[in-house]
Amino acid sequence: MTSIVNGSSTIPLIAGSEELLKDALNFYINVLGLVEHSRDGNTVYLCNDGVETVIELTLDKARGFSKHDIGKRKEEILSKLGIVDWRSLDSSYVLKADNLVDTIDNLKFYGYTLQITPNELYPNEAYCVDPLGYIIGFTACDEPLTLAPPVQKANATFGSSKMDSTLMSTTATLSNKNYVDSESLAEKLRPRRNIAVMTSGGDAPGMNAAVRAVVRAAIFRGCKAFAIREGYEGLVRGGEKYITEMKWQDVRGFLSEGGTNIGTARCMEFKERSGRLKGCLNMVKAGIDGLIVCGGDGSLTGADLFRKEWPLLIAELKEQKQISHEQYERHKNLYICGMVGSIDNDMATTDSTIGCYSALDRICRAVDYIDATANSHSRAFVVEVMGRHCGWLALMAGIATSADYILIPEKPASSQDWQDQMTKIVKNHRSKGKRKTIVIVAEGAITIDLKPISAEDVKNVLVERLGCDTRITTLGHVQRGGTAVAFDRTIATLQGVEAVKAVLELTPDTPSPLIAIDENKIRRKPLVEAVEITKSVAAAIGEKDFEKAMSLRDSEFKEHMRNFIAMNSACHDEPTLPVEKRKKIAIINIGAPAGGMNSATYAMATYCMSRGHTPYAIHNGFAGLARHESVKSINWIDIEGWNSVGGSDIGTNRQLPSDSDIGMIALYFEKYQFDGLVIVGGFEAFISLDQLEKARSMYPAFRIPMVLIPATISNNVPGTEYSLGADTCLNSLMDYCDIIKQSASATRGRAFVIEVQGGNSGYIATFAGMIAGAQVSYVPEEGIHLEQLEMDISSLREGFAVEKSLTKTGKLIIKSSNASAVLTPDVLADIINTESKGEFDTKTAIPGHVQQGGLPSPIDRTRADRFAIRAVQFIEEHADLMEPARYELDFPSDEPKYSNTASVLCVRSSHLKFTSIRRLYDFETELTKRMPKKVFWNEIRTTADDLVGRTRLQTSDKSY
């Protein structure tokens, strides 16, 4: 085994007993050939020959499966062999095998049952159940979104001479190319499906990006792509006007446009069986056998019902002789996949829906503007936002803008209680010196008696009880409008690609999947289950079972709710901790400024106040501490409004503790008796945490829990896939690129080379290229090969030639500043101009430090709040652990229970976890490059290139 394919750095596995742990070690070491790297308490780390940690085995009797449960689980999984794709049963991990055929033979020798795709003759992936009950996969490919050419078994015999000749001709074609072929052999041999995409229900920003991704991913995989216009209405009406075959160029410019260009409409006729029968006939006539629906729970419910009825519908059409026997045989199965497009973010089993963060961005911008006028006149504003059955928008907007009060349907109170509570909070905030009041009301806000609470009701309470000069702002459909933010473009694109892959892999017996996202990982979930849970929330609210309604929301929703209540009560409620449990906790910013740093300070301080801790701010980094003793306790009114302020108001710089006199820093830590430290920053902050942890043996003052919250636009902190500031940066770049592309399109025949920041990390260039639809992106991990440059210029010439008579023809080339020291933007532009032979011209554009500035995005604000509160909770959990050894002369710094108290808060795939700085620094860091050893965005680069039709060189030397 060489690496993990699914984007994680390690696979975390849990054993429920020592016997099961031994069985697992035997499987991964003796059967798969991994080696034991180290042990940390109850955790064993296994690695490959390259000393890359691959498996993390933890003995946890409370959380692991019992032997009996594993037996039942295996029996259930194995019973579905050949019937259901195992990956649809549960989440799975995939390892890259050096030789997949040998791995398969080895597993069979030890008696493991395997599910092999696409078939045993040409295996591309193989799955088995390990001794702990986990589904583990093995593949021959480097990327999870692309299939590698399958390995032919040595003793295989072909079924026919025709297959022989097809295989040999295809293989010969592949071997004669000097670049990576856009389709693997497995894809060429897979039956093609004609795939249609539809947007239904309310429109949402990002739907166009999803349509673009589906169309181009389908064409890229050799399928025909169709758009069903006007939602289910178009499906029922049929004909070329409503069911249109889409070509590659038809979706140009879709990324930067709001709404949905293929239209959406409600359709009562489709709710009747007769309407669905018409839809079935129209799809058969068009030759469609795969349907991807982007919409809300109602649209997805209709899609799943359509699939269930399909066998009967198409049989009826055949019986009535409306379709031929050949058409019946070709289309007797329908394959459905769902993507959630909804600004309310009301779908269960997914962290976010396409469009929700764009709507939240509109709300936050509006409240930021309102905030200024409210402060000027000392007014109160009641802002009504959308959310009929879900209060996500109101909750997240309340957190992101530090609203005084929110009203959401999931947490109602009696008519008297909410009025008393709101009055008390607003009165306390005003008495502490706050000049403005913001109350956010979801349109579905209700009392416990299901009586609606309107914005007018809230205004009347503020006026009559507090005498506030109050105004109402109803945002309405402004929340749906405008282009999608960077995050929505990203998830819409990745989900569209995954939806096409899912449709191609579905079998008649596989349940319809929903493409969801957990933390940072695109996943497939059962569509029916997600819809049922979503609908049960509204039903629970209707039955006044509000506790059940809240329990059905995902864990992140409930966590955000608790966080808002805690931060909002900081200045007026009694602290929740007893006096003896209260701590002194400091926060410091290190490195370049990044969006969300002030939000983290605000959340850390207000949460500390609500708990009874004393929050301190160390101003101007370690240099400020060592030179000027720049430590100040944080007062509530001083940080009021910081949640929506960019930059770093406590100051930041790049100096490390070793540069600033680490002994003096320890002296001040001792003087103020800090019990915990929160560091917010990028790679310099990462190195700083390492230095403080190593200095514990010499300086007892550092024997306290310390947490790093990654914050850098480069997103290059080892161990995490997300850093604060990255989303704000991408939004700034997205707006910049959209404007530049518009200029290029207006001029006709023009390309722009745009240089972006990121140091040695290609994260920003990669994601900016994908969300802007750039033709090319160059990153430090790959450099700029002259052959690749030549191919890219040739591709640009071809693109301009094809689009000569079309609109929106501007092209972008994204270059990371460290991709090449020689090929600067000006040099690249000159080379391209010379080689373009006058067919187009090239200019340069440098956004510079605009990428670090601006107001933080709602994602960076809300994640900063969540991360900062998690950091304080980590300190609370570990502060007492450090106390006994704080002043020991021989401090056991190597003991895991102590070294783990200096950790980085990491987002890894679908998990949010703390990882010790020792493990990350020693095993996962490339110090000379200021980078993690393994980056997680390789598959994103492949996807972005595929969707613009870029041809890539095949190189054996990959530094990433």
Residues at the annotated binding site for ATP? Answer: 202, 266-267, 296-299
Q: Which helix (H) or strand (E) holds 550?
A: helix 546-552
Sheet bearing 902-908, strands edge to edge: 631-633, 614-618, 584-590, 676-681, 706-710, 902-908, 911-916
- Residues 6 or more apart whose CB falls under 8 angstroms from that of 345 comprise 352, 353, 356, 390, 392, 393
For residue 344, indicate whether it is catalytic: yes
The average confidence (pLDDT) of the chain is 88
Q: Which CATH architecture has domain 191-352+484-537?
A: 3-Layer(aba) Sandwich (3.40)
How is the chain split into domains, by residue range?
3-139, 191-352+484-537, 359-479, 574-724+860-892, 727-854+940-948
Question: Range with the lowest mean pLDDT among 36-45, 495-504, 867-876?
Answer: 36-45
pLDDT exceeds 60 at position 169: no
Question: 426-452 pLDDT, tens per residue?
Answer: 999 999 999 999 999 999 999 999 999
Question: Range with the lowest mean pLDDT among 100-114, 262-276, 843-857?
Answer: 100-114
pLDDT at 142: 57
pLDDT exceeds 60 at position 914: yes
Helix, strand, coil percentages in the chain from 3-state DSSP, rounded to 5: 45, 20, 35
Question: 518-529 pLDDT, tens per residue?
Answer: 888 899 999 999
pLDDT band at 388 (very low <50, low <70, confident <90, very high): confident
Q: Please report which residue ranges of 292-447 form alpha helices under DSSP H.
A: 297-319, 325-330, 356-377, 392-401, 415-431
pLDDT at 960: 41
Half-sphere exposure of 33 (CA within 13 A, CB side): 15
With tokens 């709040």, the residue in question is: 865
Mean pLDDT of 594-610: 97
pLDDT band at 8 (very low <50, low <70, confident <90, very high): low
* E strand segments, 98-190: 115-118, 123-129, 135-139
Q: What are the structure tokens assigned to 692, written together?
A: 């403080």
Say yes or no: do domains 359-479 and 727-854+940-948 share a fold: yes
Residues at the annotated binding site? Answer: 202, 266-267, 296-299, 342-344, 379, 386-388, 443, 471, 477-480, 654, 712-716, 750, 757-759, 843, 849-852, 930
pLDDT exceeds 50 at position 592: yes
pLDDT exceeds 80 at position 211: yes
**What's 811's DSSP letter?**
E
Residues at the annotated binding site for beta-D-fructose 2,6-bisphosphate? Answer: 654, 712-716, 750, 757-759, 843, 849-852, 930
Please answer whether residues 218 and 209 qualify as being in contact, where contact means their C-beta atoms are separated by less than 8 angstroms. no
pLDDT exceeds 50 at position 173: no
pLDDT band at 354 (very low <50, low <70, confident <90, very high): very high
Mean pLDDT of 672-695: 97
pLDDT at 150: 34
In the chain, pLDDT over 90 holds for what percent of residues? 68
CATH 3.40.50.460 fits 727-854+940-948, yes or no: yes
Question: Range with the lowest mean pLDDT among 82-96, 252-266, 461-475?
Answer: 82-96
pLDDT band at 192 (very low <50, low <70, confident <90, very high): confident
Measure the CA–CA gap between 606 and 124, rounded to whole angstroms: 52
Residues at the annotated binding site for substrate? Answer: 342-344, 379, 386-388, 443, 471, 477-480
CATH number for 574-724+860-892 (one of 2.60.40.10, 3.40.50.450, 3.30.70.270, 3.30.360.10): it is 3.40.50.450
Which of 485-499, 800-814, 882-896 has the highest mean predicted lDDT (pLDDT)?
485-499
pLDDT band at 727 (very low <50, low <70, confident <90, very high): very high
882 against 378, higher pLDDT: 378
Catalytic residue, candidates 344, 361, 727, 792: 344
pLDDT band at 179 (very low <50, low <70, confident <90, very high): very low
Mean pLDDT of 885-901: 84
pLDDT exceeds 60 at position 152: no
Pairing of strands 631-633, 614-618: antiparallel
193 against 442, higher pLDDT: 442
What distances in angstroms separate CA 734 from CA 479, 491, 851, 890, one per listed residue?
Answer: 19, 15, 10, 53
Q: Which CATH architecture has domain 359-479?
A: 3-Layer(aba) Sandwich (3.40)
pLDDT band at 694 (very low <50, low <70, confident <90, very high): very high
Angle at which helices 597-611 and 858-882 pack, to 10 degrees? 50
Residues at the annotated binding site for Mg(2+)? Answer: 297
Question: 778-808 pLDDT, tens per residue?
Answer: 999 999 999 999 999 988 988 888 887 777 7
pLDDT band at 954 (very low <50, low <70, confident <90, very high): low
Measure the CA–CA gap between 294 and 304, rounded to whole angstroms: 13
Q: Which CATH architecture has domain 3-139?
A: Roll (3.10)
pLDDT at 951: 83
Question: 25-50 pLDDT, tens per residue?
Answer: 989 888 888 888 888 888 898 887 66
Q: Please report which residue ranges of 702-841 form alpha helices under DSSP H.
A: 726-747, 763-772, 786-802, 825-835
What distances in angstroms separate CA 959 from CA 9, 583, 759, one per listed residue?
Answer: 16, 45, 15
